[in-house]
Amino acid sequence: MKLCECGCGSKTGISTKTDRAKGHVKGQAFRYLPFHKARVLWKGVDPTLHPQWKGGRGMTANGYVWVHMPGHPRANQGMIYEHVAVAERALGYHLPPKAQVHHVNEMPSDNRPCNLVICEDIGYHKLLHARMRAFKAGELTC
């Protein structure tokens, strides 16, 4: 028996078989409790104690950066999009519930304040995308 390496203080068991995919060796103690890596993040344990903690930043499959801000009104399981946090920092207060943030260069990971436009709602955000498509097609000029 040994303690779980996530820092929770729980005792782990002994592996009855070797499983290279999971890192288990027969006769040796588990590094983590079974399924514990997933449970640690959902049971109110501080995620900064988890061995897979990457400083509170991550990226979604479509390229948007998220950050760990558990007390934020828009937080979903303690995470919000970084472009929302950057826009709110520049604005000085939280965005209204329907407000959206538009990336001018259409690169979702480019969260510089000069690349962000705060839209009052999804309708205005869609209008910006439509105007950008028209401009690229040569239908609009500056």
Residue with token string 């990336």: 103
Say what the pTM is.
Answer: 0.62
pLDDT along the chain (142 residues), means of 10: 69 83 79 57 58 76 87 86 94 93 92 94 95 84 62
Give the whole-angstrom CA distance, residue 119 versus residue 83.
13
How far apart are alpha carbons 90 and 112 in whole angstroms?
10
**Rg, C-alpha atoms of the chain:** 22
Residue 9: which residues within 8 A CB-CB, separation 6 or more?
A: 3
Tokens of 133: 């498509």
